[in-house]
Each structure stands twice: as structure tokens, then as C-alpha cells.
Structure 1
Amino acid sequence: MDVGLLGPLQVAQTGVSIVPTAGKPRKVLALLACRPDRLVSVDALIEEVWGERPPRSVQTTLQTYVLQLRGHIAAALGAQPDDGLPLGTKSILVTEPGGYLLDTQGGAVDSADFERLARRGHRAMEAADHEAASAAFRQALELWRGPALVDVQCGPLLEAEARCLEESRLSILGRRIEADLRLGRHHELVGELSGLAAQYPLHEGFQAQLMIALYRTGRRSTALEIYQRLRTVLSIELGLDPSPELRELQCALLDADPVLNLASSAEPGRLLRAV
């Protein structure tokens, strides 16, 4: 079974989708897919689907949804028996004491592939192999097909899962840009970073990376304008000042500190670590 969480929900058995169209069974499958090969408790499924006010018949209704999902799995498997599944669909959507488990049977899970590629990129960064790091991070980001679980009406647990995935995506995006900055790709990055800075006006990492890219393209005054804009937005929205790292970066820009130059023997790691 293959699972896709990085965009619209995809769960396929032998290449055939088993994702139901009805909202609540889709939620059940989505939560099971977010925790593949792990027990998901009945209480967690009830909380996700019904919140704090489940109906009296909630246990029976949940069992009905599980049966519906097994029906989709059976249709995907076809009429031919599979010796590798002694319990049929119950070998895939498994009933365990206290809950259910979606057994992927070794299938692909895009969020796991994303994490694997991200770890490869982190190792390359630690080894100062920025080319390999950039490539690994790019491969990880290419797995995304849109916002996580975008076609699921998420309850509290799925909202938390989707938010965690999105935070991971933004983190790896920042790391990929950091690797590209270290490779001297600041000219190519200015456009992308300008869009990200506008989309995430409170994200200090993207603002700092844009400032560095602008400085390296000879646009120091514009880089300083970005800092002033960020300070204003933070003050209005949150009543905060920029972080010490951002203030340090502003001082470096004002002083034209050589540490900001790519060609400097002292790579600006102390500044880039903030982004």
C-alpha cells in the first residue's frame, strides 16, 4: 500500500485508490495513513471525526466506516486470493486491541521519503557538501503536490499532523535556500525569496535570507528596507522587535561586514544559522 500525505490524500492498494469520497470515512483513513504501521486508538479516531460530542452510536458507526474502507481495499485487491494476506483485507486494515492499524506491507509513504531525503541533506550540510545538500533538499521538496491533506476536512488531530508537515516543509525549504546561498546562487534566489518574504511576512528566516541575497547582488539599501519592513510588521502584528540574530544581520549590512561576502574566507555561518 502506498500513502501520500504531501498534498491531496492518496492511499492506493496495488495501484488502485481506496480513498472514499465521504468526508468522515476519509478522515478515518487519513488519520490511519498519517500513522502508518502504528496503532491508532479508537479514542483518537473518535476525537478526530466527531470532536467532543460523539453520537451515542459512535462505536458502531466507526466500525461501519472501517468496514467501508475494507470494502475499498477488497475492490482494489480484486477477486483473486492473495497468499500473502492470510486474513484478506484484515491483514491490511488490522483490528488491534483498542484501535486499528494500517499495514502498508512495505509500500511507499511520501512523508517518510521526505524525511529520509531531508536527513541526507542535513548530513551533506554538516559535511560542507552544499551541492549534495541542495540536491537532496530539492528532491525532498519535489515530493510535495500541494498543501498537506488539502482535500480532507481535518479535525484537531489531522490539523496538527498537517501543520507539522508544513513546518517541516518550510524548514527544509529554508535549508535548501541556505545551501544555494553558500553555492553563490544569490542572483537566482532573489525572486524566489521575494515571493516567500511576501507570503510569510513574519518568517524571520526568509526575510534574513532575502537580505543576504540582496546584499550580495549589490542592493544593500533594499536589504535594509526589508529589515525596516519586518520590524514594522512585527511591532504591529505581535508587539515584538526583530530577533537578536536579525539585529546582528542589520548591523553587518550597515557596516558592509566582509563576513557577508561569499568570497570571504569567513563564511557567514553565524548569520546563516539564524535562517
Structure 2
Amino acid sequence: MDEHRISLHLVSDATGETLNAIARASVAQFQHTHVVYHRWNLIRTRLHLHRVLEGIEANPGPVLSSVIDPKLRSALDLACKQLQLQVVNVLDPVLSMLQETLGETVQGRPGIQYVLDEEYYKRIDAMHYVLAHDDGQAMAGLREADVVLVGVSRASKTPTSFYLANRGVKAANVPLVPGVPVAPELLALQRPIVGLTIDPRTLIEIRRHRLRAIAPGGTMGGIKEDDNIYVDPEAVRDEVVWARRLCSRNGWPVIDVSRRSIEETSAAVIELAEAWHLRHAGGSA
């Protein structure tokens, strides 16, 4: 089947995160379509909108909008109607439902969700925490973690930790290395600990890519890539099995990240961490 190519314009009066998420989730359902995204963020004046309309006219395609200002919305709708292009104001159904349910009029203020409130500072604090407790650093601070991730090298512990921090979750991560004793601080920790595991073949490819990035000549420390135990198939399989058994012995739940996105892994981690905190509510932490 031939690929269908379209331009899709995302017009937002804020950062555009909402539209990006909706567009990605929707476009993923179509296998034979190539979408060229045109992102227009922080559109809050007539001058801003004029630039958007020029872009839409130059690359015609449907429009997803989250613009709140009624005058800008009306101008966008009218211009797209003249160009015979569809516009979907993605917030309308939700706002209408909430307005009817709450009996309160929509404020119509762009970017109002991005405020320097308690949740914002919680995310900043979590980001600082991740930076200080990445890759087994500052083990004494693990008691402050909302969750601790463990796993072998290149099992996506660090990117998952940073994604969690953006959700306001303090996530430390500790590598599991065969032949290196597990830190006593980790074994005695009364915080949720989650293991991340990965298919050995996938892990080898990730590690090979990493080796080539840091050693373009094909060797690292005089050791050729194919002779490096870091990517030796048998050694990697043994390493993954050892790490899973270690997690099992300590009662740490394990998530297989082989076919999961960082977002999916993080959602599973949050669910496990929340379950742990519920079980231990009222106990010593």
C-alpha cells in the first residue's frame, strides 16, 4: 500500500505538549501515513497568528488547535475555512463537559496550567535529586527516594529516572554488576526498589552502539569490540539472568523494558511504587 503523506499543523497558545501527545497517539494508529508536523507554539497575538496562517497556506493540511482566546480561535477557524482545511479544537469537548458539570465559566487564559506552584517545585526538586543520585551516587540519600531503580548497565535506568523526575518522582538508580557486592545500603533500604531487565540480544545491540559512540575506532582500552566481555553474548546472558535472580531473592519486582517505551516503563514503575507505599502506609519508612 502506498504511503499517504500529509502536513499536520499543531497550533498552541502554550508549550504544545498537549497537542504533541494527542497527535502522536492518533497518528500511531495509521500504518501507511507519513505526517510532517508543523508546530506553532506560544501563539497569543494577531501577529503570531498571521505567521501561522502563512505557514498553513504554504503547506496546506489539517489543523489541531488548543488556542483558548476566542478572537484568535475565530480568526484561525475563518482562515482555514477559506483554505478549505479542517480545524479541530481539541480542548472543546473536555471544557464543555467540565463547564456543564462544575457550573463555572472557562477562564480563557492561555498557559494557565504552567504556574510556579507546589507541583512545579516538586518536579524541580525531583530533577535535582536524580542528578545527585544517578548511577549509584550518594547511596546515603537513597532513604529520601520515592523509588529506586536497579539493573544491569544500559537497561534504561537513567532515562527512566529523569522521566520520572519530570512527573515529580524522586528516583535514584543503582547499577547491578556481577562480581561486585550489592551495597548494604540498598539491601537494608525500606523504600520501593524496582528492577529493570532487558532481552540480552537487545542489550548487546545497545551496548555495541554505546561502544562505537565512545570508541569510534572499534577498540576501547586496546580491546576489540568483538572481544569485549561487555558485549559477549554468553556473558551478557549470564549477567541478565544473575540480575533477575538477585531481584527475585530480595523480593524486588522486575519490569522487562525490551519492548517498552520510557513512558510505559515509567508508568509501570509509578504503579509498583504506589502499591509499595500503600502496603507500608503507617509503617517505618
TM-score between both structures, scaled by the size of structure 2: 0.31
Greater length-normalized contact order (CA 8 Å, ≥ 6 residues apart)? 1
More strand by share: 2
TM-score between both structures, scaled by the size of structure 1: 0.32
